[in-house]
Amino acid sequence: MSDTNSNPASAPSSTFAIPGLPRAPTAEAIDHTFRAAVGKLSGGLSTAAFAAAWSDWAIQLGAAPAKQATLIADGLTRTQDFLAFNAYASRQERLSPTADAGPDADLRFSDGAWSQYPFNVWARGFQHAAAWLKSLPHDIDGLTEKNSNLVEFTVRQWLEALSPTNFLSTNPELIELTRREGGENLKRGVQHLLEDLARATRKQGPVGTENFEVGKAVAATPGKVVYQNGLIELLQYAPTTNEVYAEPILIVPAWIMKYYILDLSAKNSMVKYLVDQGHTVYMISWKNPGPEDRDYGMDDYLDLGPLKALDVINAIQPGPKIHAAGYCIGGTLLSIASATLAGRGDDRLASVTLFAAQTDFSEPGELSLFINPSQLALLKAQMHEEGVLDAKQMGGAFQMLRPRELIWQPMIQSYVKGARDPMIDLLAWNADGTRMPYKMHTEYLYRLYLDNELSSGRFPVHGVPVSLSDVTMPMFIVGTETDHVAPWKSVYKVSHLTRSRDFTFLLTSGGHNAGIVSGPVHPKRKHRVHTRTASDPSLSADAWIEQVQPQAGSWWPVWQSWLATHSNAKVAPPTLGAELVGYPILGDAPGAYVHG
């Protein structure tokens, strides 16, 4: 028998409401509102998580006298070196601050201008301070890896913000540039700052993005919109060859950004490349959700996304199986779709390709800094208030993972040097952000990132758990060497989760975006590729990279050749759309959703 008074914090199931007066907000609603307000003040970061990490560090360091002694001794040694360097440098005409610095040497100070006094002393001191501060969270028994990483993340933000390279008065290169130009660089920098602020106020993209108009300069491969629902438009691209492979390709892009990263300029459009090689390509273009779409969940993204797209393709091209490819979070959804179909005995997929997509989130890389219960509770509250998570907040989190390259260097370049880096198609795409609906993103973060349900067979689709071990069709998996969003070793883990009897893993140079969008001809790219059959032993990621040698060139032709090998003979191109079975042409690609 339950005791109704056992939980004083619980509310009665129903309360008397006075007509005409609004109901009082629930405790959960009050908490959401408070957390959302805190998130606005903290820039979307959970101060509780960082406070807990630093508290844990202080407690564990307090119980580690040997580590304390090591830090003190190292600090004294570095102070002694700094004082000696200062004394010697003051009597020399030039002395490099990186001289005899060993692993502490910072390449930002390698220019000859930094050899002048007192700039070389400031640089030397900064190098010592940086190395000492970076050692704070390491080699302390009892300090969790997650808290150690949060402490290190905080230190990195401080150091990158306070680097002498960021300030005109402490950077001899900037001083010389300003002297040489008579201050014109600063004048241009102010103009750039005012221009950027004005564009931000008008909600315009960065300078130069207007040169990459969607549908003309990018996302310009000819095609038609053959289906639309409340979440996707399905694009079917026009053939450019007299015959095409029988099996069409469905691409499921990430909905964190616009689909056309895979259809950029003609020279690096994956869609155009595949079409020109004789493939029929279908692309999902996700709607950019607004507050009215807050209740779309993962089941909706699955049903209205890849599963519905497969139905449409089957109607337009009845008979052949379908090659499916997914990118980033779109690849994760595709893996869920594949497991769902396999569990239902549905064999419509000819193969599955994943680009930089994780299925096991136990080691998600640097994004794990933002994956903890406190941080997710803050994000959930913000999304609950707004209905969506704004693209700017996600972009800010990614920038903080690379503050030097993505925050400080661009600011110095534009506002102090007075120079604009040329806009390119990939950067223009990157500025075209999207929002995340409340329900989907909450489920995604908690069920996949935090609880890792997919890899353990606990992820539910309409309440029924799906298992990646049901997936047996051929798979082609692509990881990128310097990916900080989906680290390649994390991507590789799918090799141990499925029962694919024809499994190919390819590792390409580059990062999460540039490594995938490499173009069919790319002189700076290299890749490693290996195929495992059912009789071959499974390899760990470390063993894999030791055994597989790199090859020069883009990975695109390798994948296209694999697709051709796993396809049947070529046939006449299908019609665009199929009005007779309910899928008329609704308009030209790239459609309407991409402009949202």
Residue 551 shares a structural domain with residue 458: yes
By the 8 A CB rule, do 489 and 363 touch? yes
Does 37 map to a domain?
A: no
Query: What is the CATH classification number for the domain harbouring 456?
Result: 3.40.50.1820
Residue 238's Cβ-count burial label (10 Å; 0-12, 13-18, 19+) is middle
d(CA 171, CA 167): 6
| pLDDT of 240 higher than 60 | yes
Whole-Å CA distances, 254 to 67, 130, 221, 258:
45, 37, 19, 7
pLDDT at residue 8, rounded to an integer: 38
d(CA 196, CA 136): 38
What secondary structure does DSSP assign to 524-574, as a single string? T-EEEEEEEETTSPP--HHHHHHHSPPEES-SHHHHHHHHHHTS--EEPPP
Instruction: Give the model's confidence band at 53: pLDDT under 50 very low, under 70 low, under 90 confident, else very high.
Output: very high
Does 179 map to a domain?
A: no
pLDDT at residue 20, rounded to an integer: 58
Where is the domain boundary, 149, 173, 197?
173
Give the least confident one: 12-21, 65-74, 84-93, 330-339: 12-21
Residue 499 shares a structural domain with residue 589: yes
For residues 254-270, average pLDDT: 96
Does 56 map to a domain?
A: yes
Residues, the chain, total?
596
Residue 331 shares a structural domain with residue 259: yes
| pLDDT of 168 higher than 50 | yes
β 464-465/551-552 pair status: unpaired
| % the chain with pLDDT above 90 | 82
Residue 153 shares a structural domain with residue 300: no
Residue 165 shares a structural domain with residue 233: no
Does 500 map to a domain?
A: yes
Sign of the C-alpha dihedral, residues 149, 139, 66, 98? negative
Contacts of 393 (CB under 8 A, 6+ apart): 44, 382
Report the chain's mean pLDDT, rounded to a whole number: 92
d(CA 436, CA 439): 9
Residue 321 shares a structural domain with residue 451: yes
pLDDT at residue 248, rounded to an integer: 98
Tokens of 331: 């690849």
Residue 125 shares a structural domain with residue 244: no
Residue 150 shares a structural domain with residue 233: no
Which residue from 476, 473, 495 is spatially nearest to 539, judged by alpha carbons?
Answer: 495
Instruction: Give the model's confidence band at 7: pLDDT under 50 very low, under 70 low, under 90 confident, else very high.
Output: very low
Instruction: Give the model's confidence band at 19: pLDDT under 50 very low, under 70 low, under 90 confident, else very high.
Output: low
Where is the domain boundary, 173, 188, 215?
173
Cis previous bond, 118, omega within 30? yes
| pLDDT of 39 higher than 80 | no
Residue 254 shares a structural domain with residue 167: no
Does 11 map to a domain?
A: no
For residues 133-153, average pLDDT: 95
| pLDDT of 241 higher than 70 | yes
Does 215 map to a domain?
A: no
For residues 70-79, average pLDDT: 97
pLDDT at residue 194, rounded to an integer: 97
pLDDT at residue 21, rounded to an integer: 54
Residue 363 shares a structural domain with residue 476: yes
Does 241 map to a domain?
A: yes
Pick 401 or 222 by higher pLDDT: 222
Q: Tokens 């700017």 — which residue? A: 392
Q: Helix (H, G, I), strand (E, B), or coil: what is residue 92?
A: coil
| % the chain with pLDDT above 70 | 95
How many distinct structural domains can be found in the chain? 2
| pLDDT of 100 higher than 90 | no
Give the least confident one: 29-38, 149-158, 172-181, 508-517: 29-38
Instruction: Give the model's confidence band at 3: pLDDT under 50 very low, under 70 low, under 90 confident, else very high.
Output: very low
For residues 15-37, average pLDDT: 65
d(CA 108, CA 125): 14
| pLDDT of 558 higher than 80 | yes
pLDDT at residue 379, rounded to an integer: 87
d(CA 566, CA 407): 44
The one catalytic residue in 53, 328, 339, 356 is: 328
Residue 388's Cβ-count burial label (10 Å; 0-12, 13-18, 19+) is buried
Where is the domain boundary, 173, 195, 214?
173
| pLDDT of 472 higher than 90 | yes
Q: What share of the chain is helix, strand, coil (3-state, %, to 5)?
A: 50, 15, 40
- Best-predicted range by mean pLDDT among 26-35, 274-283, 374-383? 274-283
For residues 172-196, average pLDDT: 98
Residue 469 shares a structural domain with residue 571: yes
Task: Look up 328 and say whether it is catalytic.
Answer: yes
224 phi, psi to nearest 5 deg: -130, 150
Contacts of 230 (CB under 8 A, 6+ apart): 287, 293, 296, 304
Domain range for residue 374?
Answer: 223-388+433-595
Does 532 map to a domain?
A: yes
Tokens of 348: 């419509």
pLDDT at residue 11, rounded to an integer: 41
Cβ-count burial 473-490 (b if 16+ within 10 Å, e if not): bbbbbbbbbebebbbbbb
Residue 89 shares a structural domain with residue 229: no
d(CA 480, CA 496): 19
For residues 269-281, average pLDDT: 98
- Helix (H) and strand (E) counts in the chain: 20, 17
